[in-house]
Amino acid sequence: MNAQRFSNKGDSQAKYLLKYAEPECASILDAGANLPRLGKTYCVVIPAYKETPQCVARLLTHPHASELLIVLVVNQPPSAPATASSTNTHLWRWLLEQGRTSWATNTCAQTDAPASTAKLALIETTSAAILCVDRFTQGRTIAEDQGVGLARKLGADLAVALFAQQAFSHPVIFSTDADAHLPANYFAAQQQSFACNSASSAWVYDYTHNSTGNSAEDTEICQATQSYEQAIKYYRNGLAWAGSAYGFHTLGSTLAVSIAHYCQVRGFPKRAAGEDFYLLNKLAKVGTIKNINNSIIEIDARTSDRVPFGTGPAAQKIISQWHNEKQYHYYHPQCFTLLKSLIDNQVTIWQAIQTGRTPLFIDNELDTENQTLINNALTALNIQRFVNHASKQTRNEKQFSRQFHDWFDAFLTLKFIRFIAANKYSDLPLQQCLARAPFNQG
């Protein structure tokens, strides 16, 4: 990579591209004047494993298609079956037929590779431009333990490099999936929020799942997926009601991320699943996460083995439970009530630090058993380590509150909920959770 290009800049994007971006980004940066001047407005990143061309065809007819640069990372693990490789090959060949290949490369040094064997190929269609990324052919596959996380990171890193090359102008990476249908106002809704909240680190769209067919199996898959959707929206609403700074969805298909903040937190983690959760967990500590509720993404309801956990596997698990005449259970509403008590009364922990009082947490409106339960949960989360840090680094209540929210992040919040569930408030059938919850289920 041409380091001289950034030698006098020192900003987070330059540092990220030089030190932390995936190697393929060097091809974009070193292309220089050889890279076509695209002049696009928005960049959408999509990982594609065993997907049909329909996912791209939809974008090519989107109302804003002429303003789009699509980064499509066609990928698979080394152990993928032959059918997956065949599907990926069909998608790749279809992509190359959609327009003129204006740039292609195999390595940083080679910028004249034939599109059919290129690692990166830039296709300019009559509407959008598509940067096709080959991570599915032999020698280019993605390791199982890095999976979709690396696919998203590679796509987003390339978006950062393309932004540095002025291939598009809006400083946001739109992250979605092949099964997502983007609404007509998808870009306008984010841009409207961006105009009012340009310092935000990310935006999360509302979404809904729809059936992909009319068969009994399609209906069952859709119903199971919608049950899981209800559960994670219930969880999101519970966190928001409790006052958590992490009350937002964490689906990779519904994200828009500030390029500056993406670089600041060093991008998507290279994980086989949960990469969206951990990225947003980091982004929430360096900026605000805004919910976009006036633009709803429609997602195909389908089971999936693409990732070890997430919506597809969860839907399959729910269907299996139904077939065994079992109900789908989820976190008891009281878990969120105790979470709210902790967040509302976090100042008592600060007071305990100042006075040496035990227990750390107090809420006089709770009975002794539930106060003890919360303190036991905090002990299990190793709060003493945080207390030791806060006692040395925190000078006032405001600083403590900020540090507490950074420590008690989305991951520890989930562990807190699970501790409460495991030690007193067992999971209930989902419909009972929805009926009993003291927060809105919208």
Q: What DSSP string describes 181-212?
A: E--TTHHHHHHHHHHH-TT-SEEEEEEEEE-S
287 and 390 both lie in a single domain: no
Residue ending a domain, choose from 305, 328, 351: 328
Residue-level pLDDT at 132: 97
Q: What is the pTM of this model?
A: 0.92
Exposed/middle/buried for residue 20 (C-beta within 10 Å: 0-12, 13-18, 19+): middle
Same domain assignment for residues 97 and 10: yes
The pLDDT of residue 369 is above 60: yes
- For residue 307, name the pLDDT band (cuts at 50, 70, 90): low
* Residue 175 pLDDT > 90: yes
Structural domain contains residue 304: yes
**DSSP code per residue over 217-236:** HHHHHHHHHHHHHHHHHHHH
Q: Does residue 405 form part of some domain?
A: yes
Residues 110 and 219 in one domain: yes
Q: What confidence category does residue 9 fall into, taking pLDDT thresholds of 50, 70 and 90?
A: very low
247 phi and psi angles, rounded to 5 deg: -85, 70
168 and 281 in a common domain? yes
Q: Tell me phi and psi for residue 385, to 5 degrees.
A: -65, -40
When pLDDT is averaged across residues 60-68 and rounded to a whole number, the result is 98
Q: Residue 99 pLDDT > 60, yes or no?
A: yes
pLDDT, position 313: 81
Looking at the domain assignment, is residue 17 inside a domain? Answer: yes
- At residue 324, the pLDDT reads 86
Give mean pLDDT, residues 277-301. Answer: 96
* Whether residue 266 has pLDDT greater than 90: yes
- Lookup: tokens for 212: 């992909």
- Name beta bridge partners: 202: 257, 289
Asked whether residue 298 is assigned to any structural domain, the reply reads yes
Residues 61 and 189 reside in one and the same domain: yes
pLDDT-derived band at 212, boundaries 50, 70, 90: confident
Q: What is the pLDDT of residue 5?
A: 47
Instruction: Report the SS3 class of residue 133.
Output: strand
Taking residue 223's Cβ as centre, other Cβ atoms within 10 Å add up to: 16
Q: Return the residue matching tokens 């929805």.
A: 434
226 and 345: one domain? no
* 435 in any annotated domain: no
In-domain check, residue 433: no
As a whole number of angstroms, the distance between CA 275 and CA 279 comes to 6
From residue 127, alpha-carbon distances to 33, 57, 177 in Å are: 22, 11, 20
CA distance 202 to 168: 18
Domain finish residue from 283, 309, 328: 328
CA atoms of 226 and 218, how far apart (whole Å): 12
Report the pLDDT value the prediction gives residue 309, as an integer from 0 to 100.
Answer: 59
With a cut of 70, say whether residue 306 has pLDDT above it. Answer: no
Give the pLDDT of residue 238. 98
347 and 237 co-located in one domain? no
Q: Which of 158, 203, 265, 232 is nearest to 430 (CA)?
A: 232
* Tens digits of residue pLDDT in 140-159: 999 999 999 999 999 999 99
Q: pLDDT band at 12, cuts 50/70/90?
A: confident
The number of folded domains in the chain is: 2
- 154 and 290 together in one domain: yes
pLDDT at 71: 98
How high is the pLDDT of residue 4?
44
Same domain, 140 and 268: yes
Q: What is the pLDDT of residues 65-88, one digit of tens each?
A: 999 999 999 999 999 999 999 999
pLDDT recorded at residue 8: 41
Q: Is residue 110's pLDDT more than 50? A: no
My answer on whether 309 and 336 are in the same domain is no
Task: Please give the average per-residue pLDDT across 328-341, as a whole number.
Answer: 97
Average pLDDT, the chain: 92
- Binned at pLDDT 50, 70 and 90, residue 107 comes out as low
Average pLDDT over residues 97-110: 80
- Are 220 and 336 part of one and the same domain? no
At 380-426, the pLDDT tens digits run 999 999 999 999 988 899 999 999 999 999 999 999 999 999 999 99
Domain that holds residue 380: 332-426
Same domain, 305 and 196: yes
The DSSP H or E segment spanning 357 is none
pLDDT over 90 percentage in the chain: 80
Instruction: Specify if 441 maps to a domain.
Output: no
From 295, 328, 361, the end of a domain falls on 328
Number of Cβ within 10 Å of residue 194's Cβ equals 18
Bridge partners of residue 204, in order along the sequence: 255, 291
Q: How confident is the model at residue 304 (pLDDT cuts 50, 70, 90)?
A: low
Would you state the pLDDT for residue 403?
95
Q: In 345-441, which residue ranges form alpha helices assigned H by DSSP? A: 347-355, 368-380, 383-393, 397-407, 410-423, 430-436
Query: Is residue 437 in a domain?
Result: no
Token pair for residue 110? 């080679």
